């Protein structure tokens, strides 16, 4: 009987220690480079209609500023490790991450315009005024610029 209890205690210790080391060994699972900015949308595929405004806003932003938008990752609610790592409590949730810094977190349902406003502010995108060049005979060009975020 003593050997049985001893065996149970030892096996419990091995089991618990292996779970602990796995949980603490997870570093930032999404970033390849420390200063890379990415947008992450945590999505529940069973509630796609509620997330429509996020997809519409992200598509419009990409069309308006095609060269200035960071990579987008869509993570399904079934990916429990990432959901736990980023402390996601509701779907949809959108994060903008630069390295390990969280630049933006939007949880729940928002309108497309609200999402766009937050993203434009987070990415420091500005719509410049229309410029005309006389040598192009009054051709009007609309330029969009990206300003790198300033960290204090």
Q: Model confidence over 43-94: pLDDT tens digits?
A: 998 988 889 999 999 999 999 988 888 889 999 999 999 999 999 999 999 9
Q: How far apart are CA 95 and CA 43, in angstroms?
A: 11
* Number of domains observed in the structure of the chain: 1
Residue range 93-111, pLDDT digits in tens: 999 999 889 999 999 999 9
User: Which strand (E) or helix (H) includes residue 147?
Assistant: none
- Cβ contacts of 89 within 8 Å, gap of 6 or more: 107
In a domain, 135, yes or no: no
Q: Can you give the residue range of the structural domain that contains 99?
A: 37-125
Q: Which of 116, 103, 99 is nearest to 149 (CA)?
A: 103
Report d(CA 139, CA 94) in Å as an integer.
39
Q: 91: domain CATH number?
A: 3.40.30.10
In a domain, residue 18? The reply is no
What is the 3 state secondary structure string of 72-102? Answer: EEEEECCCHHHHHHCCCCCCCEEEEEECCEE
Does some domain include residue 93? Answer: yes
Span 122-132, average pLDDT? 62
Does the pTM of the predicted model rise above 0.75?
Answer: no
Residue 85 lies in a domain: yes
């Amino acid at each position: 009987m003593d050997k049985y209890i001893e065996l149970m205690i030892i096996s419990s210790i091995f089991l618990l220690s292996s779970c602990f080391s796995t949980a603490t060994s997870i570093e930032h699972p999404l970033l390849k480079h420390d200063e890379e900015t990415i947008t992450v949308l945590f999505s529940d595929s069973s509630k796609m209609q509620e997330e429509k405004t996020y997809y519409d806003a992200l598509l419009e932003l990409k069309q308006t500023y095609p060269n200035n938008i960071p990579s987008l990752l869509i993570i399904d609610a079934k990916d429990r490790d990432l959901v736990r790592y980023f402390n996601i409590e509701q779907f949809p949730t959108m994060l903008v991450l630069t390295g390990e810094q969280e630049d933006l977190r939007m949880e729940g349902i928002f309108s497309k315009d609200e999402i766009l406003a937050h993203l434009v502010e987070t990415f420091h995108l500005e719509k410049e005024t229309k410029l005309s060049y006389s040598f192009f005979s009054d051709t009007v060009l609309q330029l969009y610029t990206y300003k790198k975020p300033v960290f204090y």
